[in-house]
Chains A and B, each alone.
Chain A
Amino acid sequence: MEKIFNQLCEGLFSELESNEALTLSFSGENSQFIRINNASIRQTGLVDDANLGLKFISNNRTCEGSMTVSGDYDIDLSRGKKEIERMRFESKEILEDPFLVMPTNAGSSREVINANGLEFDAAVQVLIPPMQGVDLVGIFANGKMFRGNANSLGQKHWFETESHCLDYSLVTPERQMVKGTYAGTDWDQQSYESYINRSIEKLELMKRKPVRVETGVYRTWFEAKAIADFIDMFSWNGISEASLQQGCSGFGKMRHNDIRLSPKFSISEDFSSGLVPKFNSNGETGPESLPIISNGVLQNTLVSSRTSAEYGVSTNYAEDTEELRSPYMAGGDLSQKDVLSRLDKGLFLSNIHYLNWSDNPGGRITGLTRYACFWVEGGEIVAPIETMRFDDTFYRFFGSELESVGSKVDVIPDVLTYGQRNLGVVTCPGILTNEFQLTL
């Protein structure tokens, strides 16, 4: 893939006229997908895919395009040339762009993570036997992923990694479920089998008869995976500077009214794990760590170069969409072994589901409990709970009601595969809140 990208860069940059600039962004994958239902294979197949994005600047206009990369150089060069011709023509008649972001050459990079991964033809025979005897449903995604970026000023970045991920649920005959995600780079059969076995052990707790809890407020422990879902909401009408400027951010109260979260809450954008590319789709590389909220105080929003040009705020080289790509929430002092005793009586929520802003300016988020969520009394798990809807604001559960933050910080991989396999991670601990509102 890297060779294909390099050849296309050479061929397409040579097409440019003197007053034109071009940035190319590449994403590709060679992936295997095995879809599983009831520990057997529902659908299986392979996908080779590669896409080249083109951002063309001329005549004070910006045009964008993208094309599928077939792997045949002549076909792909022809497609790329046609795109440049189309954008060259269009740039003569569309509206002028006063906030152009011209490419720069701030240095190149190359990062290739090789792994001793699982061969596609070997996957079924090692994956399926350990899950026999339980109702396992989910998806196994496996293979290489590629990201590249280059511009007509000579800057070039390449990132390549190989990984596998089995994202699954185990289900009891009473329809209670436990969630698991086995992800990594090198394949380790023993490690895989013991991970599955630990999930099966967790399923035992789900065999207790579920209890129905009433609507109202409860002391609540959220596991890290649930917190990761809340943090994902920060990337949607949240921590984006453009969203704040355009009046559609849940962080407006922090910006305009100096409202603070708990001093125990700190989150940053942190690329030090190396699990995601440091460069964005414009080829820009931001700071390795950028504090977003420190001890409850809003420190930085995510600012793309375009937002910087439009609103006169310094860029921190965020993606154009100003989403968190590698968030890191700092751990606290509550040890995992003390969680149940500190909770004493209330809810233990492992996962939450289908979040949405119910009042974006108020920071209020609604969603549902899902998977291993329990009622706890006297510091002990009593039973799973029936699905409940919550509706509460992060100004409470990350703010006034935040009692403790867990000391153990988990790395939660982004398992989404819309269009292509995602690369992101959220790193965060669990939290204990004094109150959390259930509504239905």
Chain B
Amino acid sequence: MEQIDLKKLLSAVDVPADWVGIREVSETHTPRIVRDGVPQMNASHTTQGLMVEVLANGQFGYYGTPNMTNEGVARAAKKAFTQAQLASKHATFQFTENARPANIGSYQSPFVKEKDSLSPGELNELLLDAYNQLKVSDKIVSARALLQTIQTVFRFVSSNGSNISQDFLMLEFDLSATAADGANQQTRTFGGMRGNCLQMGMEYFDKLELLAQSQKIGEQAIELLDAEECPAGEMDLVIASDQMMLQIHESVGHALEVDRILGDERNYAGWSFVNLDDFGKLQYGSELMNITFDPTLSSEFASYAYDDGGLEAKKEYLIKDGVLKRGLGGMESQIRSGVSGVANFRASSWNRAPIDRMANINLEPGESSFDDIIGSVENGVYMESNRSWSIDDYRNKFQFGCEYAKLIENGKLTKTLKNPNYRGISNPFWNSLKMIGNNDTFSIYGTPNCGKGEPNQVIRVGHASPVCLFENIQVFGGA
């Protein structure tokens, strides 16, 4: 990727704007997949461009361009300025440059081994070995190992003095085995929803550990073929960390996005059951519930030092002892709403404008061990790894399905169950949180696939959680 001097480009801008910012994003992601013993993908995709943003008459206007020359930026700024001026007569809100705080700093995601420390050939062999371990039986009709490295360079300069540089090395890794007997099909993966997404280097690929995981996943797919259907009824539900990721994401994270609450997303992602006057008052969940926005947790997928508007990112409690304290709103939303927020004004790439997004949204660990939690349940189900997700446009009525479950009888995990599902309504569900796991049950996950915004944007988020027990939940099985 070519190096460019953003400050020089900023000086090429010649428009009478109240504020100008230039954000550069250069990103290369390298997916590799081996399925059924054969390479399905060995690819490298690079995108690079600039988002030139100006403020005129209280309205921001933008121009996303792949032309990173002085002339290209000067032209982009003029076009953005015209768009902002025209729109300012009908603006939703009149902003000042306070919406783009001035900051100088940098961030480097943590890693030990460089991206190129494993060659394409070595990575293919690793994926093939994983496939061979996944294929534990002829009933595994398809198995797949996937890894992707992502290297992102983010630079931001602005007319009010911001100069930010952030560099990321990220990994996505997944294993999947599908067992089938006619129309009876069961798939088991490594955490569901491509959940193993981290800021990390190639040190992640401990071969022995990955091969052991692969074999376990293959064996569990076979186990599910003959498993009993998940029972239906109202019962205690213990949720593993890799499903809590999704539970937090859908029924807490999205609901607390302040731009949703302000109505920006009503035509696409939806609204929220949370209102602006709920902050500081709403008992979102039981007193065990502590949710944080934490961009500082090392190796979590969406850690960073500054958001795309230049705001410094810090750990903040969104929900403390079950009470809603703070929204997921960047500077624009904080100014519009008057609600305290966080540094979450983020864009998917150089060709999209930032909006309120999740980053790392975590459930803080509690005191209970896994054995304590299971031991406390007389009749219930323990579920792992998301496979199905759906929630309404107010983030109220959800239904989630998992890959793998165990029946809990008299404080013990007993039979394996297939097609486990549960449904509920966000606020009463979180108020039914009865026990929360300790640090030993706490795991870090993430997903690359959070969609939102108009024009649409998909963004990376991290979620860390302990194992949790919820009481009196509607649980059910397959068709």
A contact set with B: CB distance below 8 Å? 31-35, 37-51, 61-72, 75, 79, 83, 86, 90, 93-99, 120-121, 124-125, 128, 137-139, 141, 167-169, 171, 175, 177, 179, 245-248, 252-253, 256-257, 310, 353-364, 366-368, 370, 387-389, 391, 393, 416-419, 421, 439-440
CB distance from A366 to the nearest CB of B (A): 5
Interchain CA distance A24-B67 in the complex, whole Å: 21
Task: Determine whether the beta carbon of A121 is less than 8 Å from that of B267.
Answer: no
Residues of chain B in range 208-265 having any CB-CB distance to chain A below 8 Å: 262-264
CB neighbours of A62 from chain B (8 A): 39, 42
With A71-B66, A361-B184 in contact, do A246 and B128 touch (Cβ < 8 Å)?
no
Task: Determine whether the beta carbon of A95 is less than 8 Å from that of B124.
Answer: yes
Known: A43-B355, A121-B82. 17 other contacts (CB 8 A): A33-B455, A35-B454, A46-B64, A46-B79, A66-B45, A95-B125, A97-B38, A125-B86, A138-B267, A139-B454, A179-B267, A247-B178, A248-B142, A252-B185, A389-B392, A389-B397, A418-B456
Interchain CA distance A366-B392 in the complex, whole Å: 11
CB distance from A267 to the nearest CB of B (A): 21
CB neighbours of B84 from chain A (8 A): 44
With A257-B183, A367-B390, A387-B392 in contact, do A93 and B87 touch (Cβ < 8 Å)?
no
Task: Determine whether the beta carbon of B47 is less than 8 Å from that of A94.
Answer: no
Closest to A55 in B: B43
B contact set with A: CB distance below 8 Å? 2, 34-36, 38-39, 41-49, 53, 59-69, 72, 79-80, 82-84, 86-87, 89-93, 119-121, 124-125, 128, 141-142, 178-180, 182-185, 187, 262-264, 266-268, 270-271, 351-353, 355, 388-394, 396-397, 399, 401, 419, 421, 423, 425, 451, 454-458, 474, 478-479
CB distance from A79 to the nearest CB of B (A): 8
Task: Determine whether the beta carbon of A46 is less than 8 Å from that of B397.
Answer: no
Task: Determine whether the beta carbon of B267 is less than 8 Å from that of A354.
Answer: no
Interchain CA distance A355-B352 in the complex, whole Å: 26
Task: Determine whether the beta carbon of B47 is less than 8 Å from that of A357.
Answer: no
Interchain CA distance A440-B67 in the complex, whole Å: 51
Q: A245: which of B53, B142, B425, B479 is its contact (CB, 8 Å)? A: B142
Task: Determine whether the beta carbon of A94 is less than 8 Å from that of B124.
Answer: yes
Task: Determine whether the beta carbon of A368 is less than 8 Å from that of B393.
Answer: yes
CB neighbours of B141 from chain A (8 A): 245-247
With A35-B264, A247-B141 in contact, do A358 and B388 touch (Cβ < 8 Å)?
yes
Closest to A67 in B: B46
Interchain CA distance A419-B180 in the complex, whole Å: 35
CB distance from B386 to the nearest CB of A (A): 10
A-B contacts, 13 listed (Cβ < 8 Å) = A43-B60, A45-B62, A64-B43, A66-B45, A69-B66, A71-B67, A95-B124, A138-B267, A139-B455, A247-B142, A248-B142, A361-B478, A363-B479
Closest to B121 in A: A93
Task: Determine whether the beta carbon of B267 is less than 8 Å from that of A50.
Answer: no
Task: Determine whether the beta carbon of B456 is less than 8 Å from that of A43.
Answer: no
Closest to B32 in A: A94
Q: A358: which of B34, B264, B394, B399 is its contact (CB, 8 Å)? A: B399
Task: Determine whether the beta carbon of B388 is less than 8 Å from that of A366.
Answer: yes
Task: Determine whether the beta carbon of B388 is less than 8 Å from that of A356.
Answer: yes
With A50-B66, A93-B121 in contact, do A256 and B86 touch (Cβ < 8 Å)?
no
Task: Determine whether the beta carbon of B456 is less than 8 Å from that of A66.
Answer: no
With A49-B64, A175-B271, A368-B397 in contact, do A128 and B38 touch (Cβ < 8 Å)?
no
Interchain CA distance A31-B423 in the complex, whole Å: 40
Interchain CA distance A392-B396 in the complex, whole Å: 20
With A35-B454, A63-B43, A139-B267 in contact, do A44 and B87 touch (Cβ < 8 Å)?
yes
Q: B44: which of A37, A46, A86, A353 is its contact (CB, 8 Å)? A: A86
CB distance from B238 to the nearest CB of A (A): 21
CB neighbours of A357 from chain B (8 A): 388
Across chains A and B, the number of contacting residue pairs, with CB separation under 8 Å, is: 263
With A94-B39, A248-B178 in contact, do A124 and B86 touch (Cβ < 8 Å)?
yes
Task: Determine whether the beta carbon of B87 is less than 8 Å from that of A34.
Answer: yes
CB neighbours of A141 from chain B (8 A): 455
CB neighbours of B49 from chain A (8 A): 49, 68
Interchain CA distance A37-B265 in the complex, whole Å: 8
With A46-B64, A47-B64, A49-B351 in contact, do A358 and B401 touch (Cβ < 8 Å)?
yes
CB distance from A58 to the nearest CB of B (A): 12
Interchain CA distance A39-B92 in the complex, whole Å: 8
Task: Determine whether the beta carbon of B59 is less than 8 Å from that of A44.
Answer: yes
Task: Determine whether the beta carbon of B478 is less than 8 Å from that of A38.
Answer: no
Task: Determine whether the beta carbon of A45 is less than 8 Å from that of B80.
Answer: yes
CB neighbours of A388 from chain B (8 A): 397
Closest to A387 in B: B392
CB distance from B223 to the nearest CB of A (A): 16
Task: Determine whether the beta carbon of A64 is less than 8 Å from that of B80.
Answer: no
With A68-B48, A139-B455 in contact, do A359 and B478 touch (Cβ < 8 Å)?
yes
Task: Determine whether the beta carbon of B390 is less than 8 Å from that of A41.
Answer: no
Task: Determine whether the beta carbon of A45 is less than 8 Å from that of B83.
Answer: yes
Interchain CA distance A416-B456 in the complex, whole Å: 7
CB distance from B472 to the nearest CB of A (A): 15
Interchain CA distance A357-B479 in the complex, whole Å: 11
Interchain CA distance A176-B457 in the complex, whole Å: 26
CB neighbours of A37 from chain B (8 A): 92, 262-264, 266
Q: A70: which of B66, B79, B180 is its contact (CB, 8 Å)? A: B66
Task: Determine whether the beta carbon of B179 is less than 8 Å from that of A94.
Answer: no
With A67-B46, A93-B120 in contact, do A256 and B271 touch (Cβ < 8 Å)?
no
Task: Determine whether the beta carbon of B47 is less than 8 Å from that of A387.
Answer: no
Interchain CA distance A362-B470 in the complex, whole Å: 28
Task: Determine whether the beta carbon of B456 is less than 8 Å from that of A417.
Answer: yes
Task: Determine whether the beta carbon of A42 is less than 8 Å from that of B119.
Answer: no
CB distance from B191 to the nearest CB of A (A): 17
Closest to A371 in B: B393
CB distance from B450 to the nearest CB of A (A): 11
Interchain CA distance A43-B180 in the complex, whole Å: 49
CB neighbours of B187 from chain A (8 A): 247-248
CB neighbours of B455 from chain A (8 A): 31, 33, 35, 47, 139, 141, 417, 421
CB distance from B328 to the nearest CB of A (A): 17
CB neighbours of B267 from chain A (8 A): 137-139, 167-169, 179
CB neighbours of B120 from chain A (8 A): 90, 93-94
Q: B63: which of A45, A86, A124, A257 is its contact (CB, 8 Å)? A: A45
Q: B399: which of A177, A353, A391 is its contact (CB, 8 Å)? A: A391
Task: Determine whether the beta carbon of A48 is less than 8 Å from that of B67.
Answer: yes
Interchain CA distance A354-B400 in the complex, whole Å: 12
Interchain CA distance A252-B186 in the complex, whole Å: 12
Most buried by A among B42, B120, B392: B42
CB distance from A363 to the nearest CB of B (A): 7
Interchain CA distance A121-B63 in the complex, whole Å: 13
Task: Determine whether the beta carbon of B479 is less than 8 Å from that of A353.
Answer: no
CB distance from B303 to the nearest CB of A (A): 24
With A141-B455, A256-B182 in contact, do A359 and B479 touch (Cβ < 8 Å)?
yes
With A353-B392, A387-B396 in contact, do A41 and B59 touch (Cβ < 8 Å)?
yes
Q: A389: which of B43, B142, B264, B399 is its contact (CB, 8 Å)? A: B399
CB neighbours of A69 from chain B (8 A): 66
Task: Determine whether the beta carbon of A46 is less than 8 Å from that of B62.
Answer: yes
Task: Determine whether the beta carbon of B87 is less than 8 Å from that of A124.
Answer: yes
Closest to B178 in A: A247
Interchain CA distance A53-B278 in the complex, whole Å: 48
CB neighbours of A358 from chain B (8 A): 388, 390, 399, 401, 421
Q: B34: which of A95, A252, A418, A439 is its contact (CB, 8 Å)? A: A95
Most buried by A among B120, B178, B187: B120
